[in-house]
Structure 1
Amino acid sequence: MSLIPPISIITENKLNGDSFREWKRNLLIVLNCKKHKFVIDEPCPPEAQPKARNCWRDSDLIARCYMLASMSSVLQKQHENFHTAKEIMKKLEDMLGSQVTLAQQSAITNLMNSE
């Protein structure tokens, strides 16, 4: 039995705007597996800690590349100039996170009205 490379999890299920919750879950799995998730959760260390700062920046670059590679080209263009993975995630949550809530509210309303 062969294992699926973690990166294929997110490149085969690209974010297109409708799949944010699933995409984010898969992305965080991959970032955890590759030990880069901390850049989403933690700020960049101060300049007084150059080794930790460089490590954080390297991991952030990798996380940003994973994020951009797993998006539709339209979303890539909208987010390619953000400086950190955390900034990209925040923007996506602001932009697409509310769609999940609206879809859930609509589904509940439809269920209640169908009775």
Structure 2
Amino acid sequence: MANSTISLRSLLEKEKLNGINFLDWFRNLRIVLKQERKEYVIEEPVPNDPGANVSRADKDKFKKHMDDMVDVGCLILATMTPELQKQHEDMVAYEMIQNLKEIYEGQARQERYETSKALFQCKNE
């Protein structure tokens, strides 16, 4: 593993996902995965097994996706609080992210709205 990978992963190790910090954590996760060329794992559902009657290239592509999915899933779990780990440990990386977005993006949107509303009120006073 290259030194640049280690230093970027430290972004995620600084503060574990606890729910409140979802947007910052998710932004850092995307940065790390982009650098590792594995961002596709959280953006694409798990592919279907291509079966036996496909080309070697298709088999290799499927195996790479499955291997990357395990790596990313472990990284995600390792950067969560124990409570969130328990809730997500039986999911693959894509499912974890979809679930976390469902839970926390609405909450984050509400917080942004409240902040904007407060700033607007201050500006008008």
TM-score (norm 1): 0.87
Shift of 1:21: 0.7
Q: Any conservation in 2 of the 1:68–1:79 contact (CA below 8 Å)? A: yes
Corresponding position of 2:54: none
Name whichever structure is richer in helix by fraction: 2
2:33 to 31, 34, 57: 31
Shift of 1:109: 2.1
Unaligned runs of 5+ in 2: 51-57
Corresponding position of 1:99: 107
Shift of 1:35: 1.6
- For the pair shown, the structure with the greater C-alpha radius of gyration is 2
1:59 to 65, 68, 72: 68
Q: Any conservation in 2 of the 1:68–1:80 contact (CA below 8 Å)? A: yes
Corresponding position of 2:21: 19
Which amino acid counterpart does residue 76 of structure 2 have in structure 1?
M
C-alpha separation between the residues in 1 aligned to 2:47 and 2:87? 27
Corresponding position of 2:55: none
Corresponding position of 2:80: 71
Shift of 1:60: 0.5
Partner SS for 1:5: helix
Q: Any conservation in 1 of the 2:46–2:94 contact (CA below 8 Å)? A: no
Between the aligned residues of both structures, percent identity stands at 32
Equivalences, count: 113
Shift of 1:107: 1.1
Deviates more, 1:5-14 or 1:56-65: 5-14
Deviates more, 1:35-44 or 1:2-11: 2-11
